[in-house]
Amino acid sequence: MSVEAVVFDLDGVLIRTEELWDEVRAGLAAEAGARYDEEAQRAMMGMSSLEWSRYMHDELGVPDRADAISSEVVRRMLARYRERLPLVDGAREAVERLAARWPLGLASSSNRELIDAVLELSRLARFFAATVSSEEVPRGKPAPDVYLEAARRLGVEPPRCAAIEDSHSGIRSAKAAGMRVIAIPNASYPPDEEALAAADVVLRCLEELTQEAVEPRP
């Protein structure tokens, strides 16, 4: 089945922020005297803001209300983005390469405010016909909701979309949506072998993300 659209993940694919998310949330938890460890970090990967802020309150013991936790984390993330946006090497070129052939979407676990800020600061907004935050759908990754919504907004059936992902939750989300999955494993937080095995293509870096990698010529 031919590819008619490409949907990018954001964190870990186009911007190097998984470490930054971890640092900001861990800092907030430490200030509150709450627990934060590798198990918590892995559990929150792919969660929507509604889900991870509740997790920080309910499971880690941050005393603030979930909405207040989310707002403070977003405020700190925005400040860091404006200080220096951590674009992944080759991100702009990869987006431009694929946009020359397909309409592009973005399906992210980031808050809407952060998505818009990244696309504005990177000057990549014009390349994306549809962007979706997992806070705009019922469930975050690994549920397929955010990818299904991106396909709907693009007007393309999910099996005719290719998804670009880096994490275990993201790969499972895109696969559950029925998309062709191209994995570029996150070096700091690599997906588990089971998730990676579910990907249709595994690349080492964005430089390898060519039109041919997305849809090999017959």
Cβ-proximal residues to 218 (8 Å cutoff; 6+ apart), any chain = none
If one counts every other C-beta atom within 10 angstroms of the C-beta of residue 197, the result is 11
Task: Measure CA 138 to chain center.
Answer: 16
Gyration radius from the chain CA atoms: 17
Same CATH topology for 5-16+87-214 and 18-83: the answer is no
Dist CA 147 CA 128 (whole Å): 14
Does the pLDDT value for residue 190 go beyond 90? Answer: no
Domain boundaries 18-83, corresponding CATH code: 1.10.150
pLDDT in tens, 105-147: 999 999 999 999 999 999 999 999 999 999 999 999 999 999 9
The residues facing 183 across adjacent strands are 165, 202
Spell out the domain ranges in the chain: 5-16+87-214, 18-83
Banded pLDDT at 70 (limits 50, 70, 90): very high
CA atoms within 13 A on the CB side of 82: 10
The CATH superfamily of 5-16+87-214 is HAD superfamily/HAD-like (3.40.50.1000)
Tell me which residues are annotated as active site. 9, 11
